[in-house]
Amino acid sequence: MVNLNRILNKLLIYIAAIAVALIIMFPLYTLFMMSIISRTQLFSKPFNWIPVTASLRNYIEVLKPEHPVPVFQGIVNSFVVSIWAAALSLLLASLAAYALARLRFPYKAHILTSLLSFYMLPAMLFLIPIFIIMKYLNLLDTYLSLVLPYSVWITPFATLILKSFFETIPPSIEEAAWIDGCSKISALRRVIMPLAIPGLVATFIYAFILSWNEFLTPLVMTNRTVMITTALGRYRSTYDIEIGQMSAAGIYSILPVIILTLIFQRYIVKGIVEGAIKG
């Protein structure tokens, strides 16, 4: 009876997991379907969920230089901005998290509360002041006008994630490095950082995804420097919408995130779980 109950519990868990996965995958499948079928099939009634004919023409068209919507340039710009924003956020967050995890100083709890409170505020509150600053510095419509705001918004939460992960590393390891002649900076670079790779990778991917998905900031800060999220909005026209091409561009916009998650999923899970245990 015990074995039967255990089997039934596992079966229910698997069924629930499959149901949730199907619900999550359904919009992605719909988007993919609209990108490979013809316009006739797209508006046919009833809609055929299994295409009669399929073509990758839309995926080729949207990447052409003469395409009216700069999808390829948007992908390149988003990659550059997201990587730089994630790297800068990781650098700032790792140093701040290490200090919060290891050092003792006054008002430490207040700083942690402030970091969490800052992250909870909507980014829209800071857009106008940051826009004025960027305009004063002549940085509008540049990569820096996106990298700097992204880093400001991502660093607080990234600091909290890494702080929890650094606290899982025994201080004795660091003390042994000091005895061997390492300075605090050297011990951080040679001992602590290699042990914190899962947390660093998870934080980097998290920062990259947030930067990649940002829409409002590039819409306000840039005009010529098109991001993939703002490029998708250019498919709207007065008379018609190229749904197939817009769907293909939408698939391109989510592919990097999916690929990165699949490649680094081991580090992501380990980093989040180990950090959450201590936090």
Q: What is the mean pLDDT of residues 74-79?
A: 94
So where are the chain's domains?
Answer: 1-55, 66-278
Return d(Cα 166, Cα 186) in angstroms, integer: 16
Encode pLDDT of 105-124 as tens digits.
Answer: 888 888 888 877 877 788 78
Q: Which residue has the tokens 């395409």?
A: 67
Picking from 266, 119, 112, 97, the residue whose alpha carbon sits closest to that of residue 167 is: 97
The one-letter code for the residue type at 20 is V
pLDDT of residue 238: 45
Encode pLDDT of 195-248 as tens digits.
Answer: 888 889 889 998 999 999 999 899 999 888 889 999 888 887 645 778 888 999
Number of other residues whose CB lies within 10 A of the CB of residue 20: 10
Domain 66-278 CATH superfamily: MetI-like (1.10.3720.10)
> What pTM does this model have?
0.85
Spell out a b/e string for 263-277, using b for 16 or more CB atoms within 10 Å of the CB, else e: ebeebbebbbebbee
For residue 181, the SS3 value is coil
Picking from 28, 30, 67, 57, the residue whose alpha carbon sits closest to that of residue 235 is: 67
Token pair of 110, please? 């207040």
